[in-house]
Amino acid sequence: PVAGELVLAVDAVRKTFGGLVAVNDISFGVRAGEIVGLIGPNGAGKSTTFNLITGVLPATSGGVHFRGESILGLPARAISARGVGRTFQHVQLLPGMSVLENVALGAHLRANAGVVRGALRADRADEARLLHEAATQLRRVGLGEYLYEQAGNLALGQQRILEIARALAADPVLLLLDEPAAGLRYKEKQALAAVLSQLRTEGMSILLVEHDMDFVMRLTNHLVVMDFGTKLAEGPPAEVQANPAVLEAYLGG
Ligand code: ADP
Ligand code: MG
């Protein structure tokens, strides 16, 4: 994508679960090479928004365009194949497998339709190519010295970065990261922030769900704030932070 291109356009997307409106006609965009912060209290609808964009859940109504094409309603694997990568709120690694295998397997599963069928069909050439690509992505995020370590032995901060490497192996244009800094120590957050700003420098677009305001403010010029499924505010961090509705949602309850 060219700098400034609107990579992701979310238009009045809605999701109800029975009587609960989890995502209430939310609209926002992400441009090429931009990190957008998506913030809001627990239960605001942030993860559900990710699930709608990535095709994990069907939307009730609305539209999502990725690089100008409608993706809402496509299967998750098709959306991923077009260049939308993601990580989940809870670490989803295979702890007994190596760091390298975790990334290679993740890329492989994305490239193939069914999990089991995909795993069985990898031939030798495929496997070598996937391992090579996995190692490249791990070096890109600074995990090059841990390729053969068991994933479960890494510190939480490294596991989160490993998950980002796994998403990168599918060659995304846009990354959706769901609370990658949650539970991390200060130094781990610093390392994660360095990885994210490096990716942005390389042209990656990132939609970042995060609770730690200091962390997100360091990385973004654009915040979208959700509360009870609704978009409360949107704009530069300083402006959004001074918004009375935002202060109320965070402090007033
Ligand atoms: P956030 O990520 O901002 O904390 P979520 O998107 O996880 O919020 O949840 C938004 C609301 O939708 C919450 O009230 C949650 O309980 C509800 N919710 C999320 N997923 C489901 C589901 N699969 N079924 C029913 N309710 C759900
Ligand atoms: Mg969530």
Specify the CATH number of the domain 1-83+174-253: 3.40.50.300
What confidence tens digit (pLDDT) does each residue in 163-195 have?
999 999 989 999 999 999 999 999 999 999 999
The answer on pLDDT for 114 being more than 50 is: no
Answer yes or no: is the C-beta of 45 below 6 A from any ligand 1 atom: yes
Domain limits, the chain: 1-83+174-253, 95-171
Whole-number pLDDT of residue 4? 83
- Record the pTM: 0.92
For residues 131-155, average pLDDT: 96
Note the pLDDT of residue 113: 43
How confident is the model at residue 115, as a pLDDT? 46
Distance CA 24, CA 237 (A): 22
Helix H or strand E encompassing 69: strand 69-70
Whether 48 is in the pocket of ligand 1, judged by its Cβ within 6 Å, is yes
Please state, for a pLDDT cut of 70, what percent of the chain lies above it: 92
Q: How far is the CA of 180 from the centre of ligand 2 (A)?
A: 11
Angle at 70 between CA 65 and CA 73, to 5 degrees: 110
Question: Residue 126 C-alpha to ligand 2 middle, in angstroms?
Answer: 35
Distance between CA atoms of 195 and 160, rounded to whole angstroms? 11
**The two three-digit tokens of residue 119, written as one number:** 């795993």
Whether the pLDDT of residue 122 is over 70: the answer is no
What is the complex's ipTM, to 2 decimals?
Answer: 0.99
Q: Whose CA is nearest to atom 7 of ligand 1?
A: 47
Is pLDDT at 10 greater than 60 in this prediction?
yes
